[in-house]
Structure 1
Amino acid sequence: MYNNIYNAIQILSKGDVADLKRRSLASIADAPAYFRILAYSKSPDSKQTQRIIFLLLHTKLADGEDGLSVAQALINAGVKEGQIIQLVRSGDNGIDYLKRQLVRCKDVSQVSLGKLAQYWGENARRQLLKEFILANTEKFETESN
């Protein structure tokens, strides 16, 4: 599903992509380009699809399937634990805050980002915090050895 949406975004004209990037998550479903993506990717018109498109537009994804998890990409970009905690506490509005953090990231896995966007909710935010802390702890342990 995520790959189909990503490929559909790649087919769009630069003007359509620019229009989608300027929109907020709340208004993305009102763009003609949004419906083009749905038609090209054969995806359902849902909040999940809107979140996936919203985050895919603003994130530098890895080529192929060997990208970093969202948590690892955030660590590599220098995002602090306090910022992730703030994101987790911000509820459904946290998707906008997540987008601002993902703009700093590179080589993010399509699947990791897609799953996070698709299942965005309290559980997904908690899982992101867990993965972030565990990956950051592993990084600290390897640096101290």
Structure 2
Amino acid sequence: MLKRIKALKNQKGFTLVELLAVIVILGIIAAIAVPSIGGIIDKSKADAHRANALQIISAAKIAVAANDSTIIVPSTPSVKQLVDGGYLDAIPGDPDNDKKAYDGTNSKVLIVKKGNAITYSITLKPSAKSGSSKTYYDNASEADIISGKKPATRN
């Protein structure tokens, strides 16, 4: 009996089979988790484009409200003009291009007056420095961006 107790005390650690089982289980968990995390990151970037577009449209609304008598409608102020006018602090960062700013000159808000209503549409492009020729939003209305009818084009 004493030999058996001593033998049990000397058994320390895990067997090779137990270690392999743990490694296999961790591998399965990683195989499931990695694609899910990639999808979450892509969705957050698309949401960031959406938020940036709506922020730029809001700046254009402020510009129209501040210059109601002098602004010519229809007009297409660029994002750079909105920054220069003090309606935006800076050109928002592009989440797909390592936070480089969007193209301030070619990203524009189209302001159109229909009766008493003013509508806002945005064209949002990446910086020329990014080397990309895609357009995230091409003349997308504020309502379409909010409703998700026109999600940001990212590929």
Q: TM-score, normalised by structure 2?
A: 0.25
Which structure: greater helix fraction? Answer: 1
Decide which structure has greater strand share. 2
**Structure of greater Rg:** 2
